[in-house]
A and B are shown apart, each in its own frame.
Chain A
Amino acid sequence: MTDVAILGELAYWQQTGIRVGAGLAAVLLVAGTLVYLHLFKLVSFMQSRLGPMEAGPFGSLQLLAEVGKFLQKEDIFPRKADRFVFAAAPFVVLMSTFLLVVVVPGGPDAWFINSELGIYLAMAVSSVSVIGILMAGWGSASKYSLLGGLRATGQLIAYELPLILAVMGVVIQAETMNMQGIVQAQADGEIFGWGGIGNPYILTQFVAFVIFMIAMQAELTQTPFDMPIAESELVTGYMTEYSGMRFLLFFIGEFATAGVFSAIASVLFLGGWWAPIPGLEFDDNVWNLLGPIVMVTKVVVLTFIIFWARFSLPRFREDQLQQLAWKVLIPLSLANIVVTAVLKIVF
Chain B
Amino acid sequence: MTAISDREQLSYIAAQAADARVNVEIETEGMTLNIGPQHPATHGTLRIVAKLDGEQVIAADPIMGYMHRGYEKLAEVRTYPQVTTLINRIDWVGSFANEVPFILAAEKLMDVEAPPRAAWIRTILFEMSRIANISLFLGDMGLQVGAVTPAFFAFRDREHVLNQIEAATGGRFHPNFDRIGGIKDDLPAGWIAETKRAMKKIRSFCDEIEGLLQGNEIFEARCRGIGVIPADVGLSYGLSGANIRASGVDWDTRRDNPCGLVHNELDWKVWTHPDGDSFARFWVRLQEVRESTRMVDQLCDGLPSGPVMAKVPRIIKVPAGEAYVETENPLGVMGYYVVSKGDLTPYRVKIRSASFNNISITPWLLKGVYVPDIVTILGSLYFILGDIDR
A residues with CB within 8 A of B:
46-49, 143-144, 147, 223-224, 226-227, 230-235, 311-320
Contact = CB atoms under 8 A, between A and B. Distances in A.
Interface stretch (B175-183, B317-325, B372-380): B372-380
Contact of B372 (A144, A227, A311): A227
Contact of B156 (A48, A235, A311, A315): A48
Contact of B146 (A46, A48, A224): A224
B250 interface: no
A314 B222 contact: yes
B170 interface: no
A315 B31 contact: no
B152 A233 contact: no
A318 B372 contact: yes
22 contacts: A46-B149, A47-B152, A49-B152, A143-B31, A147-B55, A223-B146, A226-B146, A230-B372, A232-B144, A232-B375, A233-B41, A233-B372, A235-B40, A311-B148, A314-B218, A314-B222, A315-B145, A315-B218, A315-B222, A316-B222, A317-B222, A319-B12
Contact of A147 (B146, B213, B219, B371): B371
Chain B CB count within 10 A is highest, among A46, A232, A313, for: A232
Contacts of A46: 149
Nearest to A144: B33
Contacts of B221: 316-317, 320
Contact of A232 (B55, B146, B156, B213): B146
A232 B40 contact: yes
B386 interface: no
Contacts of B372: 227, 230, 233, 315, 317-318
B74 to A, nearest CB: 34
- Counting from the closest, the 5 A-B pairs by CB-CB distance are A315-B146, A47-B152, A314-B145, A314-B147, A314-B146
B152 A48 contact: yes
Interface residues of B, number: 33
Interface string B144-165: 1111110011001000000000
Interface string B124-156: 000000000000000000111111110011001
A233 B375 contact: yes
Q: Interface on chain B toward A: helix, strand, loop, or mixed SS?
A: helix
Contacts, number: 81
B23 interface: no
Contacts of B142: 314
From A46, A226, A317, A320, residue with most partner B Cβ within 10 Å: A317
Given A230-B146, A232-B144, A233-B374, A314 B41 contact: no
B152 A231 contact: no
Given A230-B372, A233-B372, A312-B147, A47 B153 contact: yes
B17 interface: no
B375 A311 contact: no
Given A226-B146, A316-B222, A319-B15, 16 more contacts: A46-B149, A143-B31, A143-B34, A224-B218, A232-B41, A232-B145, A233-B41, A233-B374, A235-B40, A311-B148, A313-B147, A314-B145, A314-B213, A314-B218, A314-B222, A316-B221
A318 B146 contact: no
Nearest to B15: A319
- Residue among B34, B148, B212 having the largest count of chain A Cβ atoms under 10 Å: B148
B337 interface: no
B216 interface: yes
Interface in B181-228: 212-213, 216, 218-219, 221-222
Nearest to B373: A317
B173 interface: no
A218 to B, nearest CB: 13
B329 to A, nearest CB: 25
A292 B219 CA distance: 39
A233 B371 contact: yes
A162 to B, nearest CB: 18
A313 B152 contact: no
Contacts of B153: 47-48
Contacts of B33: 143-144, 147
